[in-house]
């Protein structure tokens, strides 16, 4: 898995002028996000919006990801779907010779079809909802080629963790699983580059906490950690880890916007088990 050029951890000071929200996995459903923010009276000059990652894939508005990020000044962590795009691009640069890249320019539809059939990386990308990126990538139009490069640049700069100061202590955000029992241990390992590759992958992919396979329940040194990745019928909680992926891209799902001021109330309720897995 490629690190690209990401800053591993981004930290944010206390927002003393407005509210801080965290949105669950959006998966290209930016109209839902727009509506939810409007319903909350989101004020761009006072409020801040953070994301657990997986802004893209599956939903119909994935190609507009950069527009949505700019519109709401979204500060996101890297999700497995963002990493999937980067991994695919890295794989194609290594594996495809000049003849195949020329075929992409002269007959992109056929080239993509052959990639999907013969190349496991492309098949996985399409299976995970990344067809939209292939459509951009194959385009001969300068505007769309530029947009493709801007998207790749944005994705490669996404951190693996966010840390936000609040009135009741620090709150962490990672995509799937914090992997360490001590938050400061995790962020130090990320920032120093000493974290193991398998741990970085678990941060993007691990679902054991939500599927009943025991992990350390609490993460010390932080008030709460907000995650997504595992789509559930309702917000779920184990210890001080709160999962807010409620399946925005599924017909029976919805988008969840968590006001960080409400985190103490969530924690006071104790563990909230999964009602059901979506997807």
Crossing angle for the helix pair 98-106 and 108-118, to the nearest 10 degrees: 130
Residue count of the chain, please give it: 279
Distance from C-alpha of 166 to C-alpha of 223, rounded to nearest angstrom:
9
The verdict on whether 81 is a catalytic residue reads yes
Helices (H), the chain: 30-39, 65-72, 80-95, 98-106, 108-118, 120-127, 131-137, 142-156, 183-192, 197-205, 263-268
Q: Which of 72, 81, 175, 229 is an active site residue?
A: 81
| Cβ neighbourhood burial of 26 (10 Å; 0-12, 13-18, 19+) | buried
Compute and round to an integer the Cα radius of gyration of the chain: 19
Backbone CA torsion sign across 245, 246, 251, 252: positive
Dihedrals phi, psi of 41, to nearest 5 degrees: 65, 40
What residues contact residue 121 under an 8 Å CB cut-off, 6+ apart?
A: 87, 88, 91, 92, 95
Token pair 């939500």 is at which residue?
A: 210
Long-range contacts of 146-150 (CB under 8 A, 24+ apart): 147/63, 147/66, 150/66
* Catalytically annotated residues: 81
């Amino acid at each position: 898995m490629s690190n690209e050029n990401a800053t591993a951890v981004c930290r944010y000071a206390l927002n003393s002028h407005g509210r801080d929200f965290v949105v669950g996995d959006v998966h290209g459903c930016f109209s839902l996000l727009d509506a939810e923010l409007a319903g909350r009276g989101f004020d761009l000059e006072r409020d801040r919006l953070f994301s657990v990652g997986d802004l893209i894939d599956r939903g119909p508005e994935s190609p507009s990801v950069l527009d949505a990020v700019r519109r709401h000044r979204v500060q996101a962590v890297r999700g497995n779907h963002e990493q999937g795009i980067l991994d695919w691009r890295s794989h194609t640069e290594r594996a495809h010779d000049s003849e195949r890249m020329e075929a992409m320019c002269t007959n992109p539809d056929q080239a993509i079809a052959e990639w999907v059939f013969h190349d496991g990386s492309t098949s996985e990308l399409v299976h995970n909802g990344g067809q939209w990126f292939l459509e951009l990538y194959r385009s001969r139009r300068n505007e769309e080629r530029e947009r493709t490069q801007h998207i790749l640049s944005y994705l490669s700069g996404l951190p693996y963790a966010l840390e936000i100061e609040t009135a009741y202590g620090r709150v962490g955000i990672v995509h799937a699983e914090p992997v360490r029992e001590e938050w400061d241990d995790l962020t130090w390992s990320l920032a120093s580059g000493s974290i193991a590759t398998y741990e970085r992958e678990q941060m993007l992919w691990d679902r054991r906490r939500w599927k009943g396979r025991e992990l350390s329940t609490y993460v010390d040194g932080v008030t709460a950690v907000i995650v997504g990745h595992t789509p559930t019928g309702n917000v779920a909680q184990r210890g001080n880890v709160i999962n807010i992926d409620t399946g925005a891209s599924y017909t029976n799902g919805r988008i969840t916007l968590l006001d960080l001021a409400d985190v103490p109330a969530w924690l006071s309720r104790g563990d909230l088990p999964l009602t059901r897995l979506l997807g």
